[in-house]
Structure 1
Amino acid sequence: MTPNTAPSAPSAPSRRSFLASTAVAAAAVAGGMPLLAACGGSDSGSGGGTSAGKSAKKLLPAYIATNVVTPDIAAKNGSAVGFTSKLDIAALKTSVPKKLGKGGKVSIMSPFWGSPPKSDNAYYKAMNDLIGVDVEWQNQDGNTYDQKLGAVLASSDIPDVVVIPGWNMGGKIPSAIIGKFADLGPYLSGDAIKQYPNLAAIPTDAWQRSLFGGKLRGLPQPAPYVTGIVPLYRKDIFDKEGYEVPTSADEFMALCKEITNAKAKRWACLDMKWTAFQSFGVLSGSEKPLGWNLVDGKMVYRIETQEYLEALEWTRKLFAAGYVHPDARLGKSAATDPGPKFAAGEFLIYAQNISQWWSRTAEQATQNPDYKIWGMDIFGHDGGSPTLWAEQPAGIFAFVSKKASESVIRDVLAVANVTAAPYGTKEYMLTNYGVEGTHYTVKNGVPTKTDQGNNEVINAYVMVASPTATIAHPDFPEVAKAQVEWQQRMGAFTKKSSFYGMQITEPSRYTNLSNDFEQLEDDIVRGRKKISDMQQAVSDWKSKGGDQLRDWYKKLLDENGPAAS
């Protein structure tokens, strides 16, 4: 079952390689997309701005926790909720006792990975019947969604609902969101949301992220705010060889030396840059606003910090010592799809999205029963506790056209109230798995998709709205438990930077200011450039607009205050 958790984009090797390696496979297996955190912001005009902060509280829906289902592991420290029990179809709860839809038609445009099913398929029919709405899907290739989105939003003919992932919110999209989509506040703000109990159970932070241009416009997919990038390792080989999980940067380096034997085709790891950023306490690089933080009254950007340089230098030493798999040094296959060579034991550690903890386990379960992938706790570089930084609590949003009538908006909310049903309900199973016997079967408490399920129940209704972030793997409950507990332990060390939870669009003149830093990071850790090149690049960044952008962010914070409590 797909964990409803979000990686930090551009996370691990790259956002696109993550989509290629994980999303389609997971969608086919589980009927849902692993969610990607936002890379963009929102607000109108080239001047940029925000619609969040303390002043926005009055726009937010009331939070009313669901009591329909009780998770096996409650959320804590920004984690997902966890379910570790086998699935009991007979015990599924009902969270939507009556149809809220009034029988109208709603068109939805959404990114889609794979081959869209026929429009009259059994899954769509069952969902529409449950909701009481005739949803017409306008699925678009997720890999080229940017272009289609731009064209549609520039036209006068917009579908009733448009799903926009955060990583597609570049360029003119934020201003189009404000200009083209409806204010849902009259239907959802405050106690109004009580008509839609499953939406009322979505965490407030996720709704905070759904404010665009001073209005509540988005229906969110919540995500844990704990980092989604885990140092994954081969626990079976560690146990066999007696390797100890490291608790400092020096211990990690020593472990890599012990593991690596190039003649035997074994290296310690792939590129560990993202783990280095975590270990050294570098501010988040998943989206630009999260890279800024107020420190002793001054606004500081992540690339200016000593921790940033130290993390790059440590990663460079891993490469220079020969501990990194050759494919990662060249940016080749093991870096884009680490699964096969990780399974072969060619390297034992890599940093990737938490969803791969389960997906790699599931891949190897039958052919390699001794295989065990596990997640390391992130260590403070000096052996102490790490300082981690929160990611955004929602990353994909559905928007309703400004031209939509009230009846259409109500029908859209009826759809969202079903798709946001919690795990353990009939509505969740239909949304994520389809019809029992047609799209999936259950054996020993584990649901398994049929061929029809794999063809029809993929990234459609799950894109409209989601329940609170949830991890549930009835096939591997020990993995689900470990994932949630990892998030909870790491959440205890997680801080919220100044612009956590806020939708921000930088002024357009700064759009490309920091575009080249990721490539420079990769060149430095591979020895093609020097730390001094980064110091020069930071100096250039300041003079080319970085210092002005700092003032802009400071003014933004002074005027709006932080969103995080």
Structure 2
Amino acid sequence: MSLNMSRRSVLRAAGAGAAVLAAGPALTACDSDGGPVSVSNEGTKQAAWPAHVPAKVHYDLPALPENGAPAVLDYPSLPLPSSVRSKPGDGSTVSCMALSYGAAVKLDSSNRLVRAVGDAIGVTLKPRFVIDTGTSYTTALATMMAGGDQPDILMIPATGAPSISEFIRSKCADLSEYLSGDAIKEYPNLAALPTRGWQLMGRIGGGIYGVPTYRYNAPQVGLFADRDKLEKAGIWGRGVGVQEFTDAMAKLSVNGRYGIGSSSAAAFGWTYHAGAAGAPNWWGESGGSFRFTADTPEFEQAVENMHRFHTHRIYNPDALTLGAGDAQPKFLNGTWLTWSNGTGAAAQIFSQVRGFTPDLAFPYGDRPNTPGGDSVFGFTVIKKSSPARIKMLLRILDFFAAPFGTKEFELTRYGVEGVHFTRDKGGAPAHATRLGQTENSTNLPFQYFNMAPQPLFFPGLADLTKRLYTSQKALLPICVPDASAAYRFSSATFSAKWAGVSPALNSAVMDAVSGKTKVSDWKGTVARIKQQNGIDRMAEEFAEAKSAAR
């Protein structure tokens, strides 16, 4: 049995924390004089970005253009080297909190993986993993902020939470003096994080308040496909027009089989289809001005395309009610010929396919893009404390940022040999033990506290690794980032209101695609979403932050 691979579901609902609004009014932070905290970078002295000292890692297939991931086909020779000089901890108790896409497991002293990681670090580790339901982590952050129960190490998702920037500025350590310029060289694994990651995380009030969990440039959402059937239908590869795609998919959607699969959580997979129509990845930018994706002609065209797919019965008829957990089997058993999903799940899902060749399809349309771009999954902040403790906590983040092929990476990603995994003939930790099927990086994602950019590597699946490497090579030239990424946490309006945007947009798309509302009314729908969520003010604050950045 293969080890569980960490994954994200598509449309984790970037900022889908609408439920947090039920927890009470947005929290506001105050400075030492009792006034409101400013998170803007405008007019501030801005900390220098950390120096970059790349780690030495061997790759079998080189890094792709456009900052794409390299690939590893064979696991490094044993014994693995260590990436830290000594245990980073001081014997104290360290609390930490992050989200999880797995299942709940006991986190007491009986948990062998938590104990092993704590022992390797040199602390009593007290982690808390909040299982993601689209809103649960945002709610947990709000509860934590209101109750004052702040952990030593806290993971912040890239989409934020209401008033999170103000909380970070007032309650978390300013790490600028420890990380700016050459100071970061005290933490070699953190110094190996690319400069682009720090820039995308951005500053708050001119300071560096976190450590980014940086990922290579990659499509975040792709169209998982039965390549065999799409090739036979003549719609595989570049240059497939919308009408050609629609006609072929309609012919394939017969006898209980559907060309495009979707669940209620995915909202008809609009993230992928908006990119196919050429819409921005959440935010576009031109000449210093920012524009919300739904407020573009390309997005409106995508809604019209999806409505056409729905009327031609290309989507599964239960797309509005099917649970996210019921989606994967539909693709695996061939009921769905394509399925829009997070590309991080591709290897784990594709490795289970039998009877057809799974692959990532190139988007249809005349000028398509695919959402992605080199990005941060999130970043980690540290509770205000003494300089000595802050340095110790940074050494722990340095431990978690260990590069691929090191002892620290193997421990946090796969666990303890013989306890959580056994090796294949190539030495890779490819087989989970019974305990490892519960205590693993899906249910205990230490990588969300920090992780070095990871190459494509799937134990025992070299052919699949090559296929995904080839797919990414084709998709990277049309991969576009969210233009707001580096400026979100210096926008007070984003911090306060973004949580409501994704649920509102998902609902609007589902209504328009299913025919509950008219596609011709789309502009009015978007105007209401913008007005209710402060979209125009966000755009202004992003522009101000971009102007102030240097």
Paired residue for 1:275? 272
Aligned counterpart for 1:396 among listed residues 354, 364, 378: 378
| Residues 210, 379 of structure 2: 8 Å contact kept | yes
Q: What whole-Å deviation, never above 9, does each CA across 1:342-369 have from its counterpart, x for those lacking one?
A: 22222201111113321222334xxx3x
Paired residue for 2:98? 110
Paired residue for 1:217? 209
Paired residue for 2:413? 432
In 2, distance between residues paired with 1:392 and 1:471? 15
Q: For residue 376 of structure 1, what is the amino acid of its counterpart?
A: A
Paired residue for 1:20? none
Change (3 A) 1:273 1:474: same
Paired residue for 1:482? 467
In 1, distance between residues paired with 2:479 and 2:29? 31
Paired residue for 1:96? 84
Change (3 A) 1:344 1:299: closer
| Deviation larger for 477-486 or 385-394 | 385-394
- Cα RMSD after superposing both structures: 3.5
Paired residue for 2:178? 187
Pairwise CA distance, 1:75: 4.5
Pairwise CA distance, 1:231: 0.9
| Deviation larger for 134-143 or 190-199 | 134-143
| Residues 397, 464 of structure 1: 8 Å contact kept | yes
Paired residue for 2:23? none
Q: What whole-Å deviation, never above 9, does each CA across 1:208-260 have from its counterpart, x for those lacking one?
A: 30533432122222123433111111124446x56541523222112202312
Change (3 A) 1:528 1:4: same
Paired residue for 2:257? 266
Change (3 A) 1:54 1:138: same
Q: For residue 368 of structure 2, what is the amino acid of its counterpart?
A: P
Q: Does 1:65 align with 2:15?
A: no
In 1, distance between residues paired with 2:64 and 2:12? 25
Paired residue for 2:358? 373
Q: Does 1:128 align with 2:118?
A: yes
Pairwise CA distance, 1:182: 0.5
Change (3 A) 1:377 1:551: same
Q: For residue 121 of structure 2, what is the amino acid of its counterpart?
A: I
When the two structures are superposed, what TM-score results if normalisation uses the length of structure 2?
0.82
When the two structures are superposed, what TM-score results if normalisation uses the length of structure 1?
0.80
Q: For residue 95 of structure 1, what is the amino acid of its counterpart?
A: S
Paired residue for 2:476? 491
| Residues 235, 245 of structure 2: 8 Å contact kept | no
Q: What whole-Å deviation, never above 9, does each CA across 1:302-334 have from its counterpart, x for those lacking one?
A: 222211111111111111112222222x4324x
Q: Does 1:530 align with 2:518?
A: yes
In 2, distance between residues paired with 1:415 and 1:146? 24
Q: What whole-Å deviation, never above 9, does each CA across 1:514-535 have from its counterpart, x for those lacking one?
A: 8633212111111221122212
Change (3 A) 1:460 1:534: closer
Paired residue for 1:202? 193
In 2, distance between residues paired with 1:342 and 1:527? 25
In 2, distance between residues paired with 1:174 and 1:555? 14
- The 5 Å alignment of 1:441-520 reads 441-445=422-426, 446=428, 447-457=430-440, 458-496=443-481, 498-504=483-489, 505-507=491-493, 516-520=504-508
Identity of aligned residues (%): 23
Change (3 A) 1:7 1:66: farther
Q: For residue 124 of structure 2, what is the amino acid of its counterpart?
A: D
Unmatched 5+ residue regions in structure 2? 18-26, 262-267
In 2, distance between residues paired with 1:130 and 1:274? 41
Paired residue for 2:221? 229
Aligned residues: 516
Paired residue for 2:547? 561
Q: For residue 412 of structure 1, what is the amino acid of its counterpart?
A: L
In 1, distance between residues paired with 2:131 and 2:303? 36
| Residues 210, 219 of structure 1: 8 Å contact kept | no
In 2, distance between residues paired with 1:456 and 1:449? 10
| Residues 150, 383 of structure 2: 8 Å contact kept | yes
Aligned counterpart for 2:388 among listed residues 407, 413, 431: 407
Pairwise CA distance, 1:492: 1.4
Paired residue for 2:346? 357
Q: For residue 526 of structure 1, what is the amino acid of its counterpart?
A: S
Unmatched 5+ residue regions in structure 1? 17-41, 286-290
Paired residue for 2:68? 79
Q: What whole-Å deviation, never above 9, does each CA across 1:410-458 have from its counterpart, x for those lacking one?
A: 2222221121111111211111111111211002234212122233334
Pairwise CA distance, 1:95: 1.9
Change (3 A) 1:242 1:451: same
